[in-house]
Structure 1
Amino acid sequence: MTATAENNSFQATGIPDMPGGVLGGGDRPPAVRMYEMLYSSLVSQLLVAVADIGLADELTAGRRPVRELAAATGAHPGALYRVMRALASTGVFAEVEPEVFEHTPLSRTLCSDEQGSMRDVARYVGLPARQQAFANVSHSLRTGEPAFDHVHGKSWWEYFGEHRELATLFNRAMGTMSRRINSEVLEHYDFGGVRHLVDVGGGQGHLVSLIAQRYPDLTAVVYDLPRVVPEAREVIQGAGLEDRVRCEGGDFLERVPGGGDLYVVSWTLHDWDDADAERMLANIGRAMEPGGTLLVIDEVPPSNNSPHFGKFEDIVMLTLLRGHIRTEDELVPLFRRAGLRISEIRSTPSPTSVIVAHHM
């Protein structure tokens, strides 16, 4: 079995250190670094704020004075300058003349029309219901239970079922991450020879669209909750793939469509606790044709102290849901209990890995 990569930390070169020293700069005294780390959440809050007002879109034509940007976005000029100055110190925007800013590669990711735009992700991270849960993460620390349930009196999924506009934003944000992550996965797995693919928990269908466009002989099913199906159909139709890709609604904890020689679970397994994750995997195993393959795309952090984004994504799971990010040592017995055998774990340049499994 391929060992999980230990080098998926994000290192930057030539960019000033982020608050908290997460990109380097370990030469400062521990107390100073701790002080910075305690304030590091301000970076996220500011990114959410500028994403909300569409600031990055106003710089697509080139550098502009703060006063023009403030007028275009409805911001206070003095406050906007202070926010952009702070973000520029992290490599997001650049002050090229006094109170005149232009884009950097990082700030361009917040443009609405940029390929790989992260604007919806930023707006999702800033959802008040989500932030309220993280403000109460101490509840999760004390009890091991989701702070979201404690704050809102219902689960994450129940809340989104009642707030469709937030669910749509969540799905768009996950679609953005899916396109970014899965485009790299395509470079690390050959789908040639696959006849029928089933994407379990396929969301809006972005992964299937990418695969089907590259492999024209393949047919596929995007399988997710019924409320997600209309959004998936829109994506599939927009890609001109409705003759080869079908969207089906259902609950993968109850059943999974049969007939696939390849099943894919992308960025979903970590949402569920061991009992439900085992149940989903077992349903896939029962539906999968003999000799079929299961690909699980997920973070697989190392067990040692090496930095890995998955270790912080695991705190998101602790706070919002009941799942967790699993190491290789945790994944192997989970798959075995579901009647599946992990044959390989392939690292990618992103924090995610491709877990390849078959019937026992």
Structure 2
Amino acid sequence: MTETARPVQPRSTPSKAPDMPGGSLSGGDKSPAVRMYEMLYSSMVSQLLIVAADLGLADQVSLGPRSVADLAAATDTHPGALYRAMRALASVGVFTEVEPRVFGATALSETLRSDIDGSMRDLARYVGLPARQQAFAGVGHSVRTGTPAFDHVHGMSWWEYFAAHPELGTLFNRAMGTMSRRINSEVLASYDFADVDHLVDVGGGQGHLVALLTQRYRNLSAVVFDLPRVVPEAQEVVSRAGVSDRVRCEGGDFLESVPAGGDLYIISWTLHDWNDEDATQILRNVAQVLPRNGVLLVIDEVPPTDDSPHFGKFEDIVMLTLLNGHIRTEDELTPLFHDAGLRIREIRDTPSPTSVIIAELA
């Protein structure tokens, strides 16, 4: 499998408005002091979104506007308190107050419905996990020491915690599946897989990306490679997609080795979870089995080096707080690939914060 070689191209970051909270919560131009005041309180938007996801409020209004009294009865909540929460969320476009104390759906609330493809409800509930939120309350520890606040708060690593709480691990995998489905369309639009015969998704999680690719490309076979405990979930996703005859779900540890035989390898939203040493080892393991004309695609956020807004700069704080990973710039990625025996051919930015890094053997 080959794709026409391209020289490494300079990246361009389109001008855009900030994609993280921090703008005005009350509308209009504000003084720096007022903007700072609102930024300090912007976390309340996230907290209320978590509550809305837990209560299933988006499902409740999906068929038409509902009164607060009806919503409170359906969700076993306090009518007055629920109104105050709904009013606040409506002020930032999550719901709409169509008449006094009656709320309807918006494009934003629709993303939290549980019955739609690509629902972000599980992601919101994952963000709201108490163990995760407790770690972020200790982010100052990470800034002071450079070590994960999660370990400091809970006395164990992020991965150890999920191994000890499998029900939370399942929620985490569903949330990451949501993100996978959200970025899949960007990947499909950014790279042509028509000439790929056999694909290996390293750290492929529940297999959503492979399921979509093998549905789109009927001659493609694939392996979803992840920890043994994730394999049953991937097999279920692959089976529902109707591609079990062309997809194998295999368990293992990508820090030790990855399956051979692919002409294209994918590492999607995984490399940033690991420190430089481990990330290089993952890349090196791929390089050891990558054929001379093979391609590695790394799907990840690659923020610009200037102070322009990019979601990856905040995702990097998640890595700092929970793990030992790092959202890396192009300059930070290049030596990792080099040390693994790989060369970055091109980085393709997408309309989302995610980029597609195309690499080959050096």
Looking at structure 1, the residues matched to 220 and 358 of structure 2 have their Cα atoms a distance apart, in angstroms, of 19
Count of matched residue positions in the alignment of Structure 1 and Structure 2: 355
Looking at structure 2, the residues matched to 87 and 4 of structure 1 have their Cα atoms a distance apart, in angstroms, of 37
Q: Which residue, out of 101, 115, 118, partners 2:117?
A: 115
Q: Which residue, out of 228, 242, 247, partners 1:240?
A: 242
Kept after mapping to 2: 8 A contact 1:4/1:328: no
Kept after mapping to 1: 8 A contact 2:259/2:289: yes
What 5-or-longer segments of structure 2 have no aligned partner? Answer: 1-7
Please give the TM-score of this superposition, normalised by the length of structure 2: 0.95
Looking at structure 2, the residues matched to 104 and 359 of structure 1 have their Cα atoms a distance apart, in angstroms, of 47
Aligned to 2:4: none
Aligned to 1:2: 9
1:172-321 to structure 2, matched below 5 A, reads: 172-321=174-323
Structure 1 residues 172 and 81: alpha-carbon distance in aligned structure 2, compared to 1, 3 A threshold: same
- Which ranges of 4 or more aligned residues in structure 1 deviate by more than 6 Å? 22-26
Aligned to 2:105: 103
Looking at structure 2, the residues matched to 8 and 25 of structure 1 have their Cα atoms a distance apart, in angstroms, of 22
1:92-139 per-residue CA deviation (whole Å, 9 max, x = no partner) reads: 000010000100100111100123211000000000000000000000
1:219-246 per-residue CA deviation (whole Å, 9 max, x = no partner) reads: 0000000000000000001111111000
The one-letter amino acid paired with 1:187 is A
The one-letter amino acid paired with 1:269 is L
Looking at structure 1, the residues matched to 187 and 358 of structure 2 have their Cα atoms a distance apart, in angstroms, of 12
Aligned-pair CA distance for 1:320 = 0.2
Aligned to 1:58: 60
The one-letter amino acid paired with 1:141 is V
Kept after mapping to 2: 8 A contact 1:20/1:35: no
Aligned-pair CA distance for 1:60 = 1.3
Aligned-pair CA distance for 1:4 = 3.4
2:354 counterpart of 1:352: yes
Looking at structure 1, the residues matched to 350 and 175 of structure 2 have their Cα atoms a distance apart, in angstroms, of 21
The one-letter amino acid paired with 1:216 is R
Kept after mapping to 1: 8 A contact 2:346/2:357: yes
Looking at structure 2, the residues matched to 211 and 290 of structure 1 have their Cα atoms a distance apart, in angstroms, of 23
Aligned partner of residue 228 in structure 1, secondary structure: helix
The one-letter amino acid paired with 1:218 is L
Looking at structure 2, the residues matched to 342 and 329 of structure 1 have their Cα atoms a distance apart, in angstroms, of 11
Aligned to 2:335: 333
Kept after mapping to 1: 8 A contact 2:118/2:181: yes
The one-letter amino acid paired with 1:3 is P
Aligned-pair CA distance for 1:23 = 8.9
Looking at structure 1, the residues matched to 305 and 347 of structure 2 have their Cα atoms a distance apart, in angstroms, of 15
Tell me which moved more, 108-117 or 128-137: 108-117
Structure 1 residues 5 and 133: alpha-carbon distance in aligned structure 2, compared to 1, 3 A threshold: farther
Kept after mapping to 2: 8 A contact 1:65/1:100: yes
The one-letter amino acid paired with 2:14 is N
2:50 counterpart of 1:48: yes
Aligned partner of residue 189 in structure 2, secondary structure: coil
2:74 counterpart of 1:68: no
Aligned partner of residue 228 in structure 2, secondary structure: coil
**Alignment RMSD:** 1.6
Kept after mapping to 1: 8 A contact 2:18/2:310: no
Kept after mapping to 1: 8 A contact 2:25/2:42: no
Aligned-pair CA distance for 1:333 = 1.1
Aligned partner of residue 117 in structure 1, secondary structure: coil
Looking at structure 2, the residues matched to 120 and 217 of structure 1 have their Cα atoms a distance apart, in angstroms, of 33
Kept after mapping to 2: 8 A contact 1:270/1:326: yes
Structure 1 residues 36 and 23: alpha-carbon distance in aligned structure 2, compared to 1, 3 A threshold: closer
Aligned-pair CA distance for 1:6 = 2.2
The one-letter amino acid paired with 2:61 is L
Kept after mapping to 2: 8 A contact 1:184/1:348: yes
Aligned partner of residue 186 in structure 1, secondary structure: helix
Looking at structure 1, the residues matched to 154 and 32 of structure 2 have their Cα atoms a distance apart, in angstroms, of 37
1:175-224 per-residue CA deviation (whole Å, 9 max, x = no partner) reads: 00100101221011000110100000000000000100000001000000
